[in-house]
Amino acid sequence: MAEVTIHYTGTLVTREEARDANLSRYFTGLPCKHQHISQRLTCSSECVECAKRHKSKHRKPPITFKNRAFNFRDLIDKRFGRLVVLKAHHKTNYGATYWTCVCDCGTRKEIKGESLKSGAVLSCGCFLRANARLVNTRHGLSTSRVHGIWRNMRARCRNPRNHAYKHYGARGISVCERWNQFENFLEDMGHPPDGCSLEGIDNSGPYAPHNCVWATQFTQMSNTRRNVFLELNNKKLTISQWARELGFTFNLIKGRLNRGWTIQETLSTPRNRKIRHERI
């Protein structure tokens, strides 16, 4: 007679009481046919220990290349993209074979054979990481100076919250349709030379290829709405430009004009010579 094994002790409950209380298990205190004193399953009255052993008895062992022969296509030493197959690793219950592969970067990984043969997997993942920036990059110049100039140009013409909008967008200055794409702006204007920025030839005209050039700060300061132009001998220049050409200072010319000198007198009189004007 088999020896009685005690696996559980607790409150005695009949099967009917367990059903009424919606319990999945109950304990009678009596041994089963295999002499286990344990809980029983309410659905079948089977001993819990017997159910465990029954389940493990019919469980299939894991499939490996040691306990089962396979008919599969040998992929060893073959290359798939960046991967080279080293050996067969295991085969699943559904017949899928996994292979140990080494990537060109040195990483080893187990990959399904069908994924290798179909081209779905070509690396350990390093290829995707290395090319993620390239795939998601449009022009690669989003942090460049020329891209910042393009962004600022559009902002001051379109964004009322921009601090310079009142001088551009509010005055009706707009960006041409072609320059809504940065690539077109770069194709037309190129990269700005050192010390230059975007300049509109006509201060009231749109930002367009025919009306924009790269200009130095001095050139731009000579082309603002605030400039005062003086014309002499059919030559029209700003006060700063006349000062540079004649060797005067800006304040000298400005002071002569403020004292009532004519343009002829202001620009023709040498620096240290004074003209007396009669008081009226």
Report pLDDT digits (tens) over 135-169.
Answer: 666 777 888 999 999 999 999 999 999 999 998 99
CB atoms within 10 A of CB 116: 22
Extract long-range pairs of 26-29: CB within 8 Å, 24+ residues apart.
none
Q: pLDDT tens for residues 163-195?
A: 999 989 999 999 999 999 999 999 999 999 998
Is residue 35 a contact partner of residue 3, using CB atoms and an 8 Å limit?
yes
Say whether 106 sits in a helix, a strand or coil. Answer: coil
pLDDT of residue 71: 47
Q: pLDDT tens for residues 92-133?
A: 888 888 999 999 999 999 999 999 988 888 888 888 877 776
Measured distance CA(12)–CA(18) in Å, rounded? 10
Measured distance CA(169)–CA(185) in Å, rounded? 19
Measured distance CA(199)–CA(193) in Å, rounded? 13
Task: Identify the burial level of 47 via C-beta atoms within 10 angstroms of its C-beta, where 0-12 means exposed, 13-18 middle and 19 or more buried.
Answer: buried
